[in-house]
């Protein structure tokens, strides 16, 4: 049989985070007793006032195509959000609403990457950045960060990674998978490095900005260094903050020429994002914001429990995060102890088989020796998972 699949696509890996969540769901459907800590999505329901806005939109007949780049109402709501929360001012032509922040990043890479252009991606990275770069014809330049520096890219590391071919730097804060966030000073220092290289753009993936409990307020690169405004693309959306993963609404805010190029790609691919979801997202940004605090408090409580519990497990070391909903422990002590387990990928399979707990291995995040556990689930479920892992691991450390 002929092989019809394009060469480029053969080099791309399927999303590991989605693969683990799907595998856990499949095992559960088959009647297996599995706790899924793979999924990166809030367990909360979308707040009622947001759902009501969607129902209203359906009843009002908002069921047709919208403008490719988003409804004027949603764009105004995003402009309000960016001003209110991030202290940056954007015009409608500097915004593109897409089918999730993931789609925004995909559009961005395809809009700016020429063959062979380099995209600087610090480890541990969200699994999709390198493969999306590859699909856009770019070259991922992976820069390894260390646990000693809270898995954050330093200005010196960034300066050393930039070459004449560098087109884009990907920043994600708070980070998936580490939960660490850049301080304003750190972000500014990275921005200063970028300032010196006029050919370099920066994407700041801020999707976890509302799930953050660090000391100082989160910084926004455009607010901190307005002179970089024409080279920064802010990526954000409603998925994580408002528990709206299934609605698929994200956005990019950036310089008009880049946004126009992204809109062109979108006009030839998905057209507009779902009209009903856009009405819901408008209500999310314009409506009461107390739901953000309730969810954040729950995530913080779960974080505190899970990090402490992980550090009680033999062979496991886990640092504290200050945002997102993932714990990212070092599991090299476990790998060294289990004869049949050679790495984090094998350990994840082992944990699924021996403890009935689904976690994502660190390797697809560019961090072998680690695993990612999502704490976007109740404390009771987390307690059950920790008990199972303790029971499975302890005998091997006797």
Footprint on this chain of ligand GLU (rule: CB under 6 A): 15, 17-18, 40-41, 102, 127-128, 176
Number of residues that bind ligand PMP (CB under 6 A): 13
Q: What do you get for the CA distance between the two ends of the chain, in Å?
A: 53
Which among 237, 241, 207 has a CA at the least distance from the CA of 99?
A: 237
Beta bridge partners of 169: 120, 202
Nearer to ligand PMP, 99 or 318 (CB): 99
* CA-angle at 122, arms to 117 and 124, nearest 5°: 135
**Beta carbon nearer to ligand PMP, 107 or 330:** 107
Is 102 an interacting residue with respect to ligand PMP (CB under 6 A)? yes
Chain positions 118 to 137 lying near ligand PMP, rule: CB under 6 A, are 126
**Contact window for ligand PMP (CB under 6 A) among 71-79, 95-103, 257-265, 388-396:** 95-103
Residue 15: name its binding partner from ligand PMP, ligand GLU, none (Cβ under 5 to 8 Å by kind): ligand GLU
Tokens of 204: 């700041």
Question: By C-beta, is 41 or 93 nearer to ligand PMP?
Answer: 41
172 interacts with ligand PMP by CB under 6 A: yes
CB 324 to ligand GLU: min, Å = 9
Three-class SS state of 143:
strand
Q: Which of 24, 82, 101, 134 binds ligand PMP (CB under 6 A)?
A: 101
47 Cβ contact partners less than 8 Å away, ≥ 6 residues apart: 242, 243, 284, 287, 291
Residue whose C-beta lies closest to ligand GLU: 40
Per rule CB under 6 A, is residue 364 in the interface with ligand PMP? no
Binding partner of residue 123 among ligand PMP, ligand GLU, none, CB cut-off 5 to 8 Å per kind: none
Residue 84 tokens, joined = 């209110």
Coil, helix or strand at residue 162: coil
**223/221 Cα distance (integer angstroms):** 5
> What distance in Å separates the CA atoms of residue 71 and residue 277, rounded to the nearest whole number?
11
Q: How far is the CB of 294 from ligand PMP (least distance, A)?
A: 20
Instruction: Tell the smallest beta-carbon distance from residue 145 to ligand GLU (Å).
Output: 18
321 binds ligand PMP (CB under 6 A): no
What distance in Å separates the CA atoms of residue 165 and residue 168, rounded to the nearest whole number?
Answer: 9
Nearest CA to 214 out of 189, 170, 184 is that of 184
**Cα 188–Cα 194–Cα 195 angle in degrees, nearest 5:** 85
Nearest distance from residue 392's CB to ligand PMP, in Å? 28
- Pick between residue 175 and residue 332 the one whose CB is nearest to ligand PMP: 175
Q: How far is the CB of 1 from ligand PMP (least distance, A)?
A: 34
Taking a C-beta distance cutoff of 8 angstroms, is the pair 237, 104 a contact?
Answer: yes
Contact indicator for 115, 127 with CB cutoff of 8 Å: no
Site for ligand PMP in 206-235 (CB under 6 A): 207
Alpha-carbon distance values, 52 to 49, 59, 367 (Å)? 5, 11, 42
Q: Work out what residue 172 binds among ligand PMP, ligand GLU, none; the CB cut-off runs from 5 to 8 Å by kind.
A: ligand PMP
Helix 72-86 vs helix 275-286: crossing angle, to nearest 10: 30
Residue 266 as a binder of ligand PMP (CB under 6 A): the answer is: no
User: Minimal distance in Å, beta carbon 239 to ligand GLU?
Assistant: 8
Work out what residue 250 binds among ligand GLU, ligand PMP, none; the CB cut-off runs from 5 to 8 Å by kind. Answer: ligand PMP
Say what angle helices 256-267 and 101-112 make with each other, to 10 degrees: 110
Q: Is 90 in the site for ligand PMP (CB under 6 A)?
A: no
- Residue 228 φ then ψ, to 5°: -90, 0
Residue 341 has, within 13 A of its CA and on its CB side, a CA count of 24
Q: Residue 281: which of ligand PMP, ligand GLU, none does it interact with, CB under 5 to 8 A by kind?
A: none
Binding site for ligand PMP (CB under 6 A): 40, 100-102, 126, 172, 176, 205, 207, 237, 239, 245, 250
């Amino acid at each position: 049989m002929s092989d019809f699949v394009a060469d480029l696509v053969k080099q791309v890996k399927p999303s590991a985070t989605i693969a683990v969540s799907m595998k856990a769901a499949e095992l559960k459907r088959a009647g297996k007793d599995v706790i899924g800590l793979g999924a990166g999505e809030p367990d909360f329901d979308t707040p009622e006032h947001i759902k009501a806005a969607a129902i209203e939109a359906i009843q009002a007949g908002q069921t047709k195509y919208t403008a490719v780049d988003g409804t004027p109402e949603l764009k105004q709501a995003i402009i309000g959000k960016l001003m209110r929360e991030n202290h940056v001012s954007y015009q409608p032509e500097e915004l593109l609403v897409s089918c999730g922040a993931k789609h925004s990043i995909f559009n961005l890479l395809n809009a700016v990457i020429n063959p062979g252009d380099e995209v600087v991606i610090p480890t541990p990275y969200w699994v999709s950045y390198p493969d999306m770069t590859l699909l856009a014809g770019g070259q991922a330049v992976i820069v390894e960060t260390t646990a000693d520096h809270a898995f954050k890219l330093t200005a010196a590391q960034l300066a050393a990674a930039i070459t004449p071919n560098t087109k884009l730097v990907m920043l994600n804060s708070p980070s998936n998978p580490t939960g660490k966030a850049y301080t304003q000073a750190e972000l500014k220092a990275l921005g200063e490095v970028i300032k010196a290289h006029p050919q370099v753009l920066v994407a700041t993936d801020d999707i976890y900005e509302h799930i953050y409990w660090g000391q100082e307020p989160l910084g926004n690169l455009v607010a901190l260094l307005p002179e970089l405004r024409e080279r920064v693309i802010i990526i954000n959306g409603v998925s994580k903050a408002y528990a709206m993963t299934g609605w698929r609404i994200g956005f990019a805010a950036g310089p008009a020429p880049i946004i126009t190029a992204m809109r062109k790609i979108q006009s030839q691919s998905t057209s507009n994002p779902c009209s009903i979801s856009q009405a819901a997202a408008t209500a999310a940004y314009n409506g009461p914001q107390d739901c953000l605090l309730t969810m954040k408090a729950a995530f913080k409580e779960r974080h505190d429990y899970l990090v402490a519990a992980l550090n009680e497990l033999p062979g496991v070391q886990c640092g504290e995060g200050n945002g997102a909903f993932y714990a990212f422990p070092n599991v090299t002590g476990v790998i060294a102890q289990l004869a049949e387990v050679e790495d984090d990928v094998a350990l994840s399979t082992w944990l699924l088989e021996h403890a009935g707990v689904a976690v994502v291995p660190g390797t697809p995040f560019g961090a072998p020796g680690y695993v990612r556990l999502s704490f976007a689930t109740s404390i009771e479920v987390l307690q059950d998972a920790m008990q199972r892992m303790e029971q499975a691991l302890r005998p091997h450390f006797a």
